[in-house]
Amino acid sequence: MARHGNIPTNSGGKRAAAQQSTRQRLLEAAGQVFADKGFSDATGKEIAVLARTNSAAVNYYFGGIDELYAAVIREARNRLVTTEDVVAALAGKADAKAKLEAVIGLIVRAITSPAASSWAIRVLGREIVSPSPALEPLREDAMMRIGIMRGIVGELIGLPEDHPAVTRGVISVMAPILLLLVFDRCMFRRMFPEFGLTPADNAAVIRHLVQFALAGLSAVARDAQVNPQP
């Protein structure tokens, strides 16, 4: 007779899969609640109810609602554009213009992707407008992206990366993109119905933002030659 103790079982794998499923449901539910209400007005109880689990699960899987919010912020960032995505997009780009187009193209495609219609972009929009401590762990990552943009802008206008004009140029290039990130989608479409914010509009939007950025940076470069003082 076969011994039951020798029969292989995958109960451990099933348990791990169930735990991962619960954790993912909590993450998705929290993303939706935080996107709708913001961190200050959200509760662990309503997140747990939406995730079809008990309130204790928030502490069990994440250590508390603060840590859950931080996990949601990281997940939102990863669903849109990571620093690794930016580095990969720049690979093989020989000149600054091509690099600028690659970065803007990457972000515009992310903004019009299915992920942008979910809670991810709304959570990040809230966080950009009103930063919380949850953004602190991502500061180094953000500084890397800014450093990349400094290099591109500095190359385009022929000035050192630490020059004030380069910093202003980075802000000017990033501002329209940040507006698309933080603006409420429904309101944006009502106010600017002809703008076009779908994947079919990507080429036109990317071309416009690149041309707009290059024209402004070209004027900055000319001004720097005439007025070399910061």
Query: What is the signed CA dihedral for 116, 74, 152, 183, rounded to 10 degrees?
Result: 40
Residue range 169-186: mean pLDDT, rounded: 88
Print the domain residue range for 38. Answer: 12-75
pLDDT exceeds cutoff 80 at 115: no
Alpha-carbon gap, residue 177 to 89, rounded angstroms: 17
- Residue-averaged pLDDT of the chain: 87
pLDDT tens sequence across 7-23: 445 555 666 566 678 99
Q: What's residue 13's pLDDT?
A: 63
Q: What's residue 158's pLDDT?
A: 94
The CATH number assigned to the domain holding 108 equals 1.10.357.10
Residue range 211-219: mean pLDDT, rounded: 96
Same domain, 25 and 101: no
Same domain, 33 and 135: no
Indicate the pTM of the whole model. 0.80
* Residue 93 maps to a domain: yes
Contact (CB, 8 A) for 134 and 90: no
Same domain, 186 and 219: yes
CB neighbours of residue 3 within 10 Å: 6
Residue range 216-223: mean pLDDT, rounded: 92
Residue range 104-109: mean pLDDT, rounded: 93
pLDDT band at 2 (very low <50, low <70, confident <90, very high): very low
Q: Which of 101-105, 108-112, 184-188 has the highest mean pLDDT?
A: 101-105
The answer to which of 56-65, 119-128, 215-224 has the lowest mean pLDDT is 119-128
